[in-house]
Amino acid sequence: MAEAGKRKGMADHRVLDGAGLRVAIVVSRFNEEVTARLRDGAREALLRSGVKEKDIVEVWVPGAWEIPLTCQMLNESDEYDAMVALGCVIRGETSHHLYVAGEAARGIADESMGSGVPIGFGLLTTDTYEQAMERAGGSHGNKGEDAALAALEMVGVLRSYCPPIDSNS
C-alpha cells in the first residue's frame, strides 16, 4: 500500500541533493532587514542540501520590480540550474504594492516557465512589517528557505520527468 499522502508509483523528490548544482539567489534590497533574513534562510537551505558555497551566486537588486529582469539576464547565461527570487512588498497607504508585487510575481513566473529553469518564489507580500519578519525566520518560518528547497525539488522533478531539449534539432 502506498504511503499516506503519496500516490502509488509517484517518485518523492523531497529528498534534495544539490551537489553539483549552481544556484543564483536574486534578492531585493528594499526592506533589506527582511530580505537579508530571507537570503540567510535560502543560503543555509542550499548549503544543507549539498550545494557548494562556490556554486551559489547572490545578486542584490534595488527592489522587487527588478527581480524578473535580473532572473532573465542570469538565465540567458546558461550557468544556473535553479534560482531563488527573494523580496518583500509591504502594503502602504496607496495601491502601489499591488502593482509591484503582482507584476514581479508575473515576471518571475513567466521567466521560469519560458526558460524551463526553476525559480523558487520567495516574494513576501504582507500587510505589515511585523508579518514580514514573522515569515523571515520568525514564528511562520523562513520563506527564503522554503523557496530554495522548492527550487531544488523542481530541479529533481524536471530532470526525472522532462527530457532535456536538444538545441541542435
Catalytic residues: 96
Query: Of 29, 36, 91, 98, which is closest to residue 64 (Cα–Cα)?
Result: 29
Q: 65-91 burial, b for 16+ CB within 10 Å, e for fewer?
A: bbbbebbeebbeeeebbbbbbbbbbbe
Question: Residue 29 corresponds to which amino acid?
Answer: R
Q: Which single residue is written with the C-alpha cell 514564528?
A: 139
Query: Of 12, 77, 49, 53, which is closest to residue 152 (Cα–Cα)?
Result: 49
User: Residue 136's beta-bridge partner residues?
Assistant: 142
Query: Of 146, 169, 16, which is closest to residue 81 (Cα–Cα)?
Result: 16
